[in-house]
Amino acid sequence: MKMPKNKLDEMQEQKLRKSESLGFWIAITGLGVVTGFQFGIGLDFSHIAGELFLAAILFVYSFCTGYKNGIWDRYLAPNTKTNVICSLFMGGCAAFVCWLATSDLGWTKSEVTQAVILASVATFVFFFLLSSFSLMLYKRRRKQLDEE
């Protein structure tokens, strides 16, 4: 199928790309907030499966395009320290969501605490392993591109 001709000049194209980029981040952040909120108010997995699927597609797309071009992130350094900090942040978010989800289930304080700790540790480990694997792939790709 023949694509229609681009009617924008170079400056307009740059401005549109910037706004599309911001839109992408609004979408991802919004999905994260909405999913966390829905989980926090006690909706089960079937209610948030659609949002999770879309968020997964966005993350996979973002990672794949970054990997292909040997780009890690605009601001974050590609190292283990950054991965630890980001994983700790995700663990913190999971702790908050878990606390929200369990606070009105009639559980005892210790049960809620255990659930929060388990959720935050599991999330930290998951994101740390995922980001470490991504870092390994990125470094390999970077080396490949630099040697081309």
Partner 1 sequence: MPRNLAIKAARALKDMTQKDLAQAVGVSRQTINAIEQGEYNPTIKLCRAICRALGKTLDELFWEDDENENAEK
State the residues that interact with partner 1 by CB under 8 A: 9-12, 14
**Alpha-helix runs per DSSP H in 41-108:** 45-68, 80-102
Which lies closer to partner 1 via its Cβ, residue 14 or residue 80? 14
Cβ atoms within 10 Å, residue 97:
20
Cβ atoms within 10 Å, residue 100:
16
Smallest distance from partner 1 to CB 4, Å:
17
Total H helices, total E strands in the chain: 4, 0
Which lies closer to partner 1 via its Cβ, residue 6 or residue 113? 6
Smallest distance from partner 1 to CB 10, Å:
6
Which lies closer to partner 1 via its Cβ, residue 13 or residue 111? 13
* CA angle (134, 33, 53) in 5-degree steps: 55
Which lies closer to partner 1 via its Cβ, residue 15 or residue 47? 15
Smallest distance from partner 1 to CB 140, Å:
33
Q: Map residue 4 onto helix, strand or coil.
A: coil
Smallest distance from partner 1 to CB 5, Å:
12
Q: What is the DSSP letter of 75?
A: S
